[in-house]
């Protein structure tokens, strides 16, 4: 991996699991937490040895709040975002020019977008273009598509008592 200076980590799986059956929860945690951290660890070791580069990971808008039908998915995506934030802090303290980009998509028209009543579902081509622009611009964070910033703002602003009634 001598010349590699960009890593894009897209480890992710999830399922609606309103009964909280353990197997789907375990599988989601295994991929989205353990698999993610294992891949990122390899990337970090390489980038620190190079003393430069760019790490990009795909988390999700789901990282912003828990959800009763997919708690492992939302929590694992929050893990990803916080882990990336920790790495950004690590590189900053080491004065290393290593960029870290957290991509938080909303719904994209892929096999992961399951369920009825999905809204603002983006074409994969549009999502890919916005992710590419974020990588090229070495953004710290990006919502995909950009309009998901509004949903993110609402998810952060709404009090728990109201969120739980939705």
Question: pLDDT at position 117, please?
Answer: 67
Question: pLDDT at position 164, please?
Answer: 86
Question: pLDDT at position 100, please?
Answer: 98
163 an active-site residue?
no
Is the separation of the CB atoms in 33 and 11 below 8 Å?
Answer: no
Q: Enter the tokens of residue 50.
A: 């190079």
For the whole prediction, is pTM greater than 0.85? yes
Question: pLDDT at position 116, please?
Answer: 66
Contacts 24+ apart (CB under 8 A), 26-32: 26/72, 28/72, 28/73, 28/76, 29/72, 29/76, 31/76, 32/72, 32/73, 32/76, 32/77, 32/79, 32/80
**DSSP at 108:** B
> What are 98's strand-pairing partners?
53
Question: pLDDT at position 1, please?
Answer: 78
3-class DSSP assignment, residue 135: helix
CA distance 105 to 126: 11
Question: pLDDT at position 113, please?
Answer: 64
Question: pLDDT at position 123, please?
Answer: 85
Domain residue extents for the chain: 6-163
- Among residues 73, 83, 143, 163, the one annotated as catalytic is 73
Q: Enter the tokens of residue 80.
A: 């990803």
CA distance 123 to 107: 9
Is the separation of the CB atoms in 15 and 31 below 8 Å?
Answer: no
Chunked mean pLDDT (size 10), the chain, 166 residues? 92 88 97 97 98 97 93 97 98 98 88 68 91 98 94 94 87
Q: Per CATH, the architecture of 6-163 is what?
A: 3-Layer(aba) Sandwich (3.40)
Question: pLDDT at position 108, please?
Answer: 81
């Amino acid at each position: 991996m001598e010349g590699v200076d960009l890593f894009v980590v897209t480890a992710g799986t999830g399922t609606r699991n309103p009964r909280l059956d353990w197997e789907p929860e375990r599988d989601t945690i295994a991929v989205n937490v353990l698999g993610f951290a294992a891949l990122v660890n390899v990337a970090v070791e390489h980038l620190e040895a190079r003393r430069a580069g760019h790490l990009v990971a795909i988390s999700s808008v789901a990282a912003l709040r828990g959800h009763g039908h997919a708690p492992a998915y939302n929590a694992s995506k929050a893990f990803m975002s916080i882990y990336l934030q920790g790495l950004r802090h690590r590189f900053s303290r080491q004065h290393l020019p290593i960029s870290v980009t957290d991509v938080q998509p909303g719904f994209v028209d892929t096999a992961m977008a399951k369920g009825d009543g999905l809204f603002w579902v983006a074409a994969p081509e549009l999502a890919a273009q916005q992710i590419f622009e974020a990588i090229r611009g070495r953004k710290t964070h990006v919502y995909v598509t950009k309009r998901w910033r509004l949903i993110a703002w609402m998810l952060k602003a709404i009090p728990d008592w109201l969120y739980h009634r939705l």
